[in-house]
A and B are shown apart, each in its own frame.
Chain A
Amino acid sequence: GDSVTQMEGPVTLSEEAFLTINCTYTATGYPSLFWYVQYPGEGLQLLLKATKADDKGSNKGFEATYRKETTSFHLEKGSVQVSDSAVYFCALSDYGNKLVFGAGTILRVKS
């Protein structure tokens, strides 16, 4: 079945550091790919998405490119802030809307 694997955390960075969180997927079809974020004490919210190969999703300085050849959707940000501290989930949606999530990666940004 479909699955998502993302790098284990926690990831601890200093403010203004470069962020990469790796995500790879397995799917039978041509899924849409998502990054969701969960800030402390808040619900899951969509960060960005890409619906086809080579699409780049971007939001709030975060970017991810849908790479079909490597089945990856790595999340990047050039300069993280303390306010980016959260749990980040990579997810896919294939044939029928339900989301399949990775286990999540905790990001801690220190000032």
Chain B
Amino acid sequence: GAGVSQTPSNKVTEKGKYVELRCDPISGHTALYWYRQSLGQGPEFLIYFQGTGAADDSGLPNDRFFAVRPEGSVSTLKIQRTERGDSAVYLCASSYGLASDTQYFGPGTRLTVL
């Protein structure tokens, strides 16, 4: 079936604006993860959903970042009052949710804050 999809693939915004990034996981995957990858670095964990609830949001850098998954499928990562330091590739992954399950990654959304 289809893999993890993310939209948009690229987003350019101005400092202070609000952005939403969308993730469509693989059908049947109950676990969904958001990561952020800065240039030359490995992905850093942001938040993990099991079903509709956030099971671990310890990676969200501050209260400008928020994510939802209202129906247990599609997820939206929301960033308020964007800053230039938020520029990065935002990756979404999904899995069946069991420990050590393979996480399947989407292509990412490249966010640029001017």
Interface on A for B, CB 8 Å cutoff? Answer: 4, 32, 36, 42-46, 49, 51, 89, 91, 93, 96-104
Report the bound CA distance from A44 to B97 in whole Å. Answer: 18
Tell me which residues from 33 to 62 in chain B have a Cβ below 8 Å from any Cβ of chain A.
33, 35, 40-45, 48, 55-56, 59
Residues of chain B at interface, number, CB under 8 A: 29
Report the bound CA distance from A97 to B40 in whole Å. Answer: 24
- Which residues from chain B contact A93 at a C-beta distance below 8 Å? 99-100
B95 & A97 in contact (Cβ 8 Å cutoff):
yes
B100 & A44 in contact (Cβ 8 Å cutoff):
no
B56 & A96 in contact (Cβ 8 Å cutoff):
yes
Report the bound CA distance from A98 to B55 in whole Å. Answer: 10
B102 & A102 in contact (Cβ 8 Å cutoff):
no
B108 at the A interface (CB under 8 A):
yes
- Which residues from chain A contact B105 at a C-beta distance below 8 Å? 36, 43-45
- Chain A residue nearest to B98 (CB atoms) is A97
Q: List 9 A-B contacts (CB under 8 A).
A: A44-B105, A46-B104, A96-B99, A97-B56, A97-B103, A98-B56, A98-B59, A99-B35, A99-B45
B31 & A97 in contact (Cβ 8 Å cutoff):
yes
B102 & A97 in contact (Cβ 8 Å cutoff):
no
Report the bound CA distance from A91 to B100 in whole Å. Answer: 11
